[in-house]
Chain A
Amino acid sequence: MIISTTALSVIVVVATLVATLTPILLLAMFIRDWKKGRLW
């Protein structure tokens, strides 16, 4: 049972997309915590 090109590309593209958005999400959360004085 071989994985198709489409399935492989969907898995990798979704994972890479999430990984690309993660730093942006973390920075947004950091700014929100900082503004509310909840960093530490």
Chain B
Amino acid sequence: MTGLDDPILPTSIAWGLLIAFSILWVALGWWLGRHNKTAEDHMLAGRNVGLALATATAMATWVTANTTMTAPQLALQLGVWGMLGYSLGALGLVLFAPLARRIRELMPRGFTSGDFIRLRFGTFTWRVFLLVSLIYAFGWLVSMAMAGGVLINALAGIDYRVGMTVILAVCVIYTLLGGLRAVIGTDFIQTIIIIAGAAFIAWLTIDKVGFEAIHFNLMEERPELLSLLFPAAIMFLFNNLLFGVGEIFHSNVWWSRAFAFGRNVGFRAYLLGGLLWLPIPIVAGFIALATPALGINVPAADMVGPLVAAEVLGLTGAIVVFIVVFAALASSLDSLLAATSDLVTRDIYRGHIRPQASEQNQFRATKVIVVLLGLLTWLAASYRGELPIIGSLAELLYFTGAFVASAIWPIVAGLYWRRANPHGAAWSMILGSGIGLASYFLIGFYVAALVGAAVSLAVMVLSTWLAPRPFDWDRLSRDATAEEVRTA
């Protein structure tokens, strides 16, 4: 990402907004988490989250800085299909709705996605899954922290490392204070800010520029953006769809919510969240199509959204964009910090280091782990461009594509296929990730997820067909409850 020569927002105003919203999120985090007494309270918000908060947190977590900044970029580069293709990311949430119901039914006392893999497929597959899941989670955490620094720098001219440190520190503090309850509570407010801000800018763009002028100028200058047969855009559509499904199906961010939502809430929350998320990339992306009509010169494609907002709305537009981006970054970073610390606490600390850890031990451990994760993320994001893998946001995300996609089929088979082979699940992730990564380096970034998913599917189907292993679904609930009783 290359920034703009002149920031669109005065630095003093940006600092004022950063400080005001940081205080708001930290205060809310403390207030929401003040009654947390056990690891279960802290990690799963009491396991009875209602439909309104559940729907909002699903939406907020899936609206990242990528959605608000990349959707306009894709509309500018790939046209109508760019924004429509991005909106299909909603299918990941919609398809996870039945999985969320199944997860809650099979493991009403479960904590993490790792718990499920361990009880369903055994220790070896569990360790492979943890490796895949933690590589992805850390990659996403670092990319979000980097996005925070880059965007704050581009929008307001605040130094990359300072902006990144502020946003990461704020998210660590309120996640530490309030756990998942703080994450879900702040997500609700952040969702409203993000969607209302994006809709506000879209309505004003429609009012000030108009569809006739947008269409006429695009036909004159960039007619390919209006084409419905744009091959690169159609390829992007499928790639994005697969990547999104893989991200949601395996990540503990979504599993921890499935465990935390009240009975019968998960299915409706993910379905409604997905359907309401669908228009957001169109609303955020459409404004980029107005650039020819507005006569804007776009020096950096990924800054087209803020540029149009500032052109149409002036200082107000710049302020709205800054608040929306800050909310989008925080809503994803906090969720990832909480879900990854849960996974490390339950599956590494309790699973490998201290199996007899009590509820209170885990409660303390999860707080220490949030801080350590924050520090590790800060270190990796500080050395952006200096480490071989951490080059740019896009490179980092595409790199994790092979890992993410290779976990789709073991998860689906584990939840629905009684005879799924446990070792087949492990090897489908190992070979899917390995061959997917090889294709990333040998062919191109755009095939990593596709190859990873295809290899993983083939291994899962073949191993189960050759050596089926029947499984008793009741064991999941029985074993998870027995483990909780043992450590209570």
Given the known A-B contacts A19-B283, A40-B48, are A3 and B192 also in contact in the complex, defined by CB atoms under 8 Å?
no
Known: A8-B215, A26-B56, A29-B55. A40 touches B49 (CB 8 A): yes
* Cβ–Cβ contact A23 & B192, under 8 A: yes
Residue-wise interface mask of A (24-40) relative to B, using a CB-CB cutoff of 8 A (1 in contact, 0 not):
01110110110000111
A40 touches B53 (CB 8 A): yes
Task: Given the known inter-chain contacts A9-B211, A16-B283, please indicate yes or no for A33 contacting B202, CB distance below 8 A.
Answer: no
Task: Please report the C-alpha to C-alpha distance between residue A2 and residue B223 in the assembled complex, in whole angstroms.
Answer: 8
Q: Does B296 contact A (CB under 8 A)?
A: no
Do the beta carbons of A16 and B199 come within 8 Å of each other? yes
Query: CA of A14 to CA of B283 in the docked complex: distance in angstroms?
Result: 9
CA distance A4 to B396 in the complex (A): 37
Chain A residues touching B, range: 20 to 34
Q: Is the CB of A12 within 8 A of B229?
A: no
Residue of A nearest to B192 (CB): A23
A8-B226, A39-B53 given; A18·B279 CB < 8 A: yes
Instruction: Tell me whether chain B's interface is mostly helix, strand or loop, or mixed.
Output: helix
Within the assembled complex, what's the spacing in Å between the Cα atoms of A1 and B276? Answer: 29
On chain A, the residues within 8 Å of B144 by CB distance are none
Measured CA separation A20–B283 after assembly (Å) = 10
Identify A33's interface contact among B52, B195, B211, B276, CB under 8 A.
B52
Known A19-B202, A26-B52, A30-B52; 18 more pairs at CB < 8 Å? A2-B219, A2-B227, A5-B215, A8-B80, A11-B282, A12-B202, A12-B282, A15-B282, A16-B202, A16-B203, A20-B196, A22-B195, A22-B276, A25-B276, A26-B56, A38-B48, A38-B51, A38-B262
Interchain Cβ contacts under 8 Å between A and B, 10 examples: A2-B219, A3-B226, A12-B283, A15-B278, A16-B279, A19-B195, A19-B279, A26-B192, A39-B50, A39-B53
